């Protein structure tokens, strides 16, 4: 097991380096740089000193140097916690990111937990009561859930909560609490706002998870060892939970590993619609305006989450399935 | 011909199946998987059930265990009477298949092993856990005692170093060892009947012979009855005391094993024997049975074997034959013996 973890850890580091290189190149691929955007803005303002300012900025961020130099400068700073500066906001990237990361993680983790708590029992029920009325209803609902874009659900929920519950919509706080320090009242307000993004973001995953769980478990239920467990005289409940469900979890654990980066970037569109102070919209804007250090930082963060997610998923799989441990 | 005493004292009969009919309800129609089969399983004896794939022999076993995929497949009529060791009798067909009473019979009194040793053990639990689970389910013992019993029974099925292998997972064992472990699990609760559905079909011949010998020894040691399902007449010859031949859900012939091998009466049984290759018998050609098994959705009227039967008469194509006792204990369902 230790050797297995060690091997996985080294390949994890190599992957991260490669991702950061490729990511940096891709971000720089579109013609021009943030400075071109900036220059255009200055031109509109009609500032005469535009060229000089641009030259100064170019020097400061080494933008006149070749790409590999820029990369090395950025990545060596990155490992020391200096993520570079955002051109667009004219602030340290770290400030911008940490600020939003907390809310992002809360929203994402809540919606992840929500989707698992809803999807697993329904998936198990559907698989064990295949083609029953309830199963058909769940199947129908899950297809609707899969096919309706989540921003539409967000809009509908916003309308409902503002029209029928008289709540302020959008954001994570009412206006009164937006800049207030944390207090019980602010926490309550936060929780009142939290459920919409959690439900909206979670719902899309729920539908998918439900289908995966149903399909998997019904495959497993036709396996011979499930029949063996029944032949022992075990109650059906034990047969399903101890012998079948545990074998049906593999793809879901893999899925969990893949969904970790989504915790940072996830549901950008929903966040924009709901004007949530999360990382998604920030990342989206950074890409649009070629704010390369900000975008690059997000990219590496997501890569780290993905790699860690897969790493954790592998360890979890090895714990669930002894066949993986010994390979 | 030494014919076995047929009228055994009542306490020797462990299971009595009477006119069992099990049907599957599919979109294409009703399949009569088991169509009026009767037999008894007697203490300390091996009953062999032989027939081609799809003849209903496995479904008969699943009906007894109440492991049919209900409601798609279910017992529509007939009785399966089980006589528990503590006395009395119970009709299995009348029990709720999920009830505590049925679950006490399943695994405790009637244990079953399956054809596919590679997939019949759960890959995520150790062999030991799976056997201990069965022991603790049916016997009021602590984990340590259950573990000792598991090691003992693994030793009895010839698994070397059972105290070490008990901690292994199924994928660390070969197919033969897995089947031995399955047998160990089945025996762990001292069942009175062991149903073995093609237990050695998936294994190679040398291992097959060893496992069959081991099963026969354990059967004597435990004094249990075995219902052995196979399509292999060689396995029947080695193991069975009494044989039941099935064709398309019906019993066509039943006799003591020696009687059946020396004097097969039903044309289908005779056909089966003619299609076995025998080493050393030169000049004797293998004769396959002509034609193929009829579709379960389109069964011929009369005897199901009539379309393939070399000795079919007019009546065979019109009316199903009754069962005739040609010699004491030798039953055949064929118009030739009316």
Q: How far is Cα B136 from Cα A41, in angstroms, rounded to an integer? A: 78
**Nearest-CA neighbor of B244 among B45, B7, B32?**
B45
With 0-12 CB in 10 A as exposed, 13-18 as middle and 19+ as buried, what is B24? middle
Indicate yes or no: CB of A228 within 8 angstroms of CB of B121. yes
Nearest residue, CB atoms, B120 vs list A228, A236, A326: A228
Taking CB atoms and an 8 Å limit, are B122 and A231 in contact across chains? no
Residue of B120, B137, B185 lying closest to A224 (CB–CB):
B120
Helices B143-156, B175-187: axis angle to 10 degrees equals: 130
User: Residue A177 has what pLDDT?
Assistant: 75
List the CATH number of the domain containing A137. 1.10.3720.10
A33, A70 contact by CB (below 8 A): no
CATH number of the domain at B74, please: 3.40.50.300
With CA atoms as reference, the chain B residue closest to A248 would be B124
* Residue range B96-109, pLDDT digits in tens: 999 999 999 998 99
Q: Which chain B residue has the Cα nearest residue A128? A: B69
Domain range for A214 is 102-325
Give A6→chain B minimum CA distance, Å: 24
Whether the predicted pLDDT of B113 surpasses 50: yes
User: With b meaning 16 or more CB within 10 Å and e meaning fewer, what string describes A272-310?
Assistant: bbbebbbbbbbbbbbbebbbbbbbbbbbbbbbbbbbebb
Distance in Å, alpha carbon of B181 to nearest chain A alpha carbon: 12
Per-residue pLDDT at A145: 82
Contact criterion met (CB below 8 Å) for B257 and B48: yes
Residue of chain A whose Cα is closest to the Cα of B135: A232
The verdict on residue B146 lying in a domain is: no
Cβ-Cβ contacts under 8 Å, B197 against chain A = none
Mean local confidence (pLDDT), B248-269: 95
Contacts of A233 in chain B (CB under 8 A): 103-108, 134, 137-138
Q: Dihedral through CA A75, CA A77, CA A83, CA A88, nearest 10?
A: -90
Report yes or no on A301 lying in a domain: yes
The verdict on a CB contact (< 8 Å) between B122 and A235 is: no
> What tokens does A22 get?
């490729």
Nearest CA in chain B to A244: B122
pLDDT score of B283 more than 90: no
Predicted-complex ipTM score: 0.87
Question: Which residue among A233, A236, A320 places its CB closest to the CB of B108?
Answer: A233
Report chain B residues touching chain A, CB-CB < 8 A: 65, 67, 98, 103-108, 111-112, 114, 116, 119-126, 133-134, 137-138, 169, 171-172, 182, 185
In a domain, A74, yes or no: no
Q: Does B14 have pLDDT greater than 50?
A: yes
Secondary structure class of B170 (helix, strand, coil) = helix
Comparing A261 with B76, the larger pLDDT belongs to B76
| Alpha-carbon gap: A247 to the closest alpha carbon of chain B (Å) | 7
Q: Which two tokens stand for residue A152?
A: 């539409």
Contact predicate A257/A310, CB 8 Å: yes
Task: Quick: pLDDT tens for A271-325.
Answer: 888 888 888 888 888 888 878 788 888 888 888 888 888 888 888 888 788 887 6
Q: What is the reported pLDDT for A48?
A: 62
Name the residue of chain A whose CA is nearest to B102's CA: A233
Element holding B183 (H helix, E strand): helix B175-187
How many angstroms away from the CA of B271 is the closest CA of chain A? 33
Residues in chain A with CB shorter than 8 Å from the CB of B65 are: 231
Q: DSSP E strands: which ranges in chain B? A: 13-26, 29-42, 46-50, 73-82, 90-91, 110-113, 193-197, 225-230, 242-247, 250-256, 324-327, 330-332
Residue A110 lies in a domain: yes
Is there a contact between B120 and A229 if contact means CB atoms under 8 Å apart? Answer: no
A232, A235, A247, A253: best mutation site toward chain B, by most B Cβ within 10 Å? A232
Least Cα distance to B180 among B146, B149, B218, B222 occurs for B218
What percent of chain B is predicted at pLDDT more than 70?
Answer: 95
Interface probe for A, chosen from B98, B124, B170, B179 (most Cβ of A below 10 Å), is: B124
B239: nearest Cα among B274, B202, B279, B211: B211
pLDDT at A266: 61
Strand B330-332 relative to strand B193-197: parallel, antiparallel, unpaired? unpaired
Local structure of B171: helix, strand or coil: helix
CB contact under 8 A, A232 and B137: yes
Is the confidence at residue B89, as pLDDT, over 80? yes
Q: Please answer yes or no on whether B119 and A223 come within 8 Å at the CB atom.
A: yes
pLDDT at residue number A16: 86
How far B104 CA sits from the closest chain A CA (Å)? Answer: 6
| Nearest CA-CA partner of A209 in A238, A249, A244, A176 | A249
The most confident of the ranges A33-37, B52-56, B323-327 is: B323-327
Range of the domain at B259: 10-99+225-337
Answer whether residue A171 is part of any domain: yes
Cis peptide before B71 (omega within 30 of 0): yes
Q: In Å, what is the CA distance from A198 to each residue of A279, B184, B325?
A: 15, 51, 75
What is the pLDDT averaged over residues B126-144?
Answer: 94
* Total number of domains in chain A: 1
In this predicted structure, what is the pLDDT of residue B135?
Answer: 95
Q: Which residues of B touch A246 (CB under 8 A)?
A: 124
Chain A: residue whose CA lies nearest to B68: A227
Task: Give dist(CA B235, CA B202) in Å, integer.
Answer: 13
Nearest CA to CA, how far is B253 from chain A (Å)? 29
Both tokens of A115, joined, read 């989707």
How many CB pairs lie under 8 A apart between chains A and B?
71
Place of tokens 């994570």: A172
User: Which chain B residue lies closest to A220 (C-alpha atoms)?
Assistant: B122
Percent over 90 (pLDDT), chain B? 76
Nearest to A246 among B121, B124, B126 (CB): B124
Q: Which residue has the higher pLDDT, B262 or A295?
A: B262
The 3-state DSSP class for residue B197 equals strand
- From chain A, the residues in CB contact with B171 under 8 A are 322-323, 326
Query: What pLDDT score was predicted for residue A22?
Result: 86
In a domain, B113, yes or no: no
Closest residue by Cα to residue A122 from A197, A201, A204, A209: A209
Burial of B21 (0-12, 13-18, 19+ CB in 10 A): middle
B125: chain A residues, CB-CB within 8 Å: 242-243
Three-state SS for chain A is CHHHHHHHHHHHHHHHHHHHHHHHHHHHCCCCCHHHHHHHHHHHHCCCCHHHHHHHHHHHCCCCCCHHHHHHHHHHHHHCCCCCEECCCCEEHHHHHHHHHHHHHHHHHHHHHHHHHHHHHHHHHHHHCCCCHHHHHHHHHHHHHHHCCHHHHHHHHHHHHHHCCCCCCCCCCCHHHCCCCCCHHHHHHHHHHHHHHHHHHHHHHHHHHHHHHHHHHHHHHCCHHHHHHHHCCCCHHHHHHHHHHHHHCHHHHHHHHHHCCHHHHCCHHHHHHCCCCCHHHHHHHHHHCCCHHHHHHHHHHHHHHHHHHHHHHHHHHHHHCHHHHCC
Most B-contacting residue of A129, A227, A233 (CB-CB within 10 A), to test interface: A233
In a domain, B111, yes or no: no
Q: How many domains does chain B have?
A: 1
In this structure, is residue A214 part of a structural domain?
Answer: yes
- Chain B: give the shortest CA distance to residue A209, in Å: 22
pLDDT in tens, B22-45: 999 998 889 999 999 999 999 999
**Cβ-contact B253, B240 below 8 angstroms:** no
Number of CB atoms found within 10 A of residue A92's CB: 15
Name residue, tokens 């799809």.
B54
Indicate yes or no: CB of A247 within 8 angstroms of CB of B122. yes
Torsion-angle region of B223 (φ positive above 0: left; ψ -120 to 50: alpha; else: beta) = left
Write the CA distances from A212 to A5, A131, A141, A150, A251, integer angstroms. Answer: 28, 16, 14, 19, 8
Sheet with B46-50, side-by-side order of all strands: B110-113, B193-197, B225-230, B46-50, B242-247, B250-256, B330-332, B324-327
**Residue B180 located in a structural domain:** no
- Mean pLDDT by groups of 10 residues along chain A of 327 residues: 80 87 80 73 70 74 78 84 80 83 83 90 93 92 85 85 76 75 82 84 85 93 93 93 90 79 71 82 84 83 82 82 71
Q: In this complex, do B120 and A323 lie within 8 Å of one another by their Cβ atoms?
A: no
Give dist(CA B208, CA B161) in Å, integer.
21
What backbone torsions phi and psi does residue B131 show, to the nearest 5 degrees? Answer: -75, -45
- Residue A252: predicted pLDDT: 85
pLDDT digits (tens, 9 = 90+) for B181-235: 999 999 999 999 999 999 988 888 888 999 999 999 999 999 999 999 999 999 9
Is the Cα torsion angle A258, A263, A266, A267 positive or negative in sign? positive
Nearest residue, CB atoms, A227 vs list B67, B98, B172: B67
Distance, CA of B13 to CA of B216 (rounded, Å): 19
- Whether residue B107 lies inside any domain: the answer is no
**What confidence score (pLDDT) does residue B317 get?**
92
The pLDDT assigned to A49 comes to: 67
Which of A224, A231, A322 is the closest to B124 by Cβ?
A: A322
């Amino acid at each position: 097991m230790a050797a297995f973890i060690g091997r996985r850890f080294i390949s994890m580091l190599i992957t991260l380096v490669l991702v950061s290189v490729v990511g940096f190149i891709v971000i720089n691929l579109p013609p021009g740089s943030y400075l071109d955007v900036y220059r255009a803005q200055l031109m509109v303002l009609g500032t005469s000193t535009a060229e000089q300012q641009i030259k100064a900025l170019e020097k400061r961020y080494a933008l006149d140097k070749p790409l590999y130099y820029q990369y090395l400068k950025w990545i060596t700073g990155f490992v020391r916690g200096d993520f570079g500066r955002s051109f667009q906001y004219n602030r340290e990237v770290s400030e911008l990111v940490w600020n939003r990361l907390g809310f992002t993680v809360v929203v994402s983790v809540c919606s992840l937990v929500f989707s698992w708590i809803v999807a697993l029992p329904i998936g198990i029920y559907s698989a064990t009561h295949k083609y029953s009325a309830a199963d058909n209803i769940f199947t129908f609902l899950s297809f609707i859930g899969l096919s309706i874009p989540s921003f539409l659900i967000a809009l509908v929920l916003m309308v409902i909560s503002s029209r029928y519950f008289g709540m302020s919509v959008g954001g994570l706080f009412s206006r009164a609490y937006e800049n207030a320090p944390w207090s019980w009242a602010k926490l309550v307000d936060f929780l009142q706002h939290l459920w919409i993004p959690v439900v909206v973001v979670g719902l899309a995953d729920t539908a998918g998870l439900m289908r995966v769980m149903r399909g998997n478990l019904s495959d497993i239920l036709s396996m011979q060892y499930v029949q063996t467990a029944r032949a022992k005289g075990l109650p059906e409940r034990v047969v399903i939970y101890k012998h079948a469900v545990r074998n049906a979890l593999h793809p879901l654990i893999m899925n969990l590993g893949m969904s970790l980066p989504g915790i940072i970037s996830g549901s950008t569109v929903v966040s924009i619609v709901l004007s949530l102070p999360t990382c998604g919209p920030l990342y989206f804007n950074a890409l649009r305006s070629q704010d390369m250090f900000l975008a690059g930082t997000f990219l590496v963060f997501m890569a780290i989450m993905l790699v860690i997610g897969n790493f954790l998923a592998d360890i979890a799989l090895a714990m669930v399935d002894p066949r993986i441990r010994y390979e | 011909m030494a014919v076995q005493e047929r009228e055994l004292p009542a306490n020797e009969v462990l299971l009595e199946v009477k006119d069992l009919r099990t049907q599957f309800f599919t979109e294409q129609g009703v399949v009569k998987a088991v169509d009026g089969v009767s037999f008894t399983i007697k203490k300390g004896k091996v009953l062999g059930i032989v027939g081609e794939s799809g003849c209903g022999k496995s479904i008969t076993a699943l009906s007894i265990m109440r492991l049919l995929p209900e409601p798609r497949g279910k017992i529509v009529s007939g009785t399966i009477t089980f006589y528990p060791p503590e006395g009395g009798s119970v009709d299995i067909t009348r029990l709720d298949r999920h009830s505590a009473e049925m679950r006490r019979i399943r695994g405790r009194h009637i244990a079953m092993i399956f054809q596919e040793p590679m997939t019949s053990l759960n890959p995520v639990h150790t062999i030991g856990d799976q056997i201990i689970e069965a022991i603790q389910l049916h016997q009021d013992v602590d984990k340590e005692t259950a573990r000792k019993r598991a090691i003992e029974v693994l030793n009895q099925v010839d698994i070397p170093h059972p105290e070490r292998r008990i901690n292994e997972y199924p994928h660390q064992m070969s197919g033969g060892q897995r089947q031995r472990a399955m047998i160990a699990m089945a025996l762990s609760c001292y069942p009175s009947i062991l149903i073995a559905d093609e237990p050695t079909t998936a294994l190679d011949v040398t291992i097959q012979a060893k496992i069959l010998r081991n099963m026969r020894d354990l059967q004597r040691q435990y004094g249990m009855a075995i219902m052995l399902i196979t399509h292999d007449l060689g396995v029947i010859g080695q193991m069975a005391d009494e044989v039941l031949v099935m064709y398309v859900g019906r019993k066509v012939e039943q006799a003591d094993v020696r009687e059946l091998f020396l004097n097969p009466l039903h044309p289908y049984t005779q056909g089966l024997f003619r299609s076995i290759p025998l080493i050393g018998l030169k000049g004797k050609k293998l004769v396959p049975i002509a034609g193929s098994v009829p579709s379960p959705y389109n069964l011929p009227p009369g005897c199901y074997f009539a379309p393939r039967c070399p000795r079919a008469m007019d009546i065979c194509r019109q009316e199903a034959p009754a069962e005739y006792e040609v010699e004491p204990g030798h039953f055949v369902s064929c118009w030739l013996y009316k």
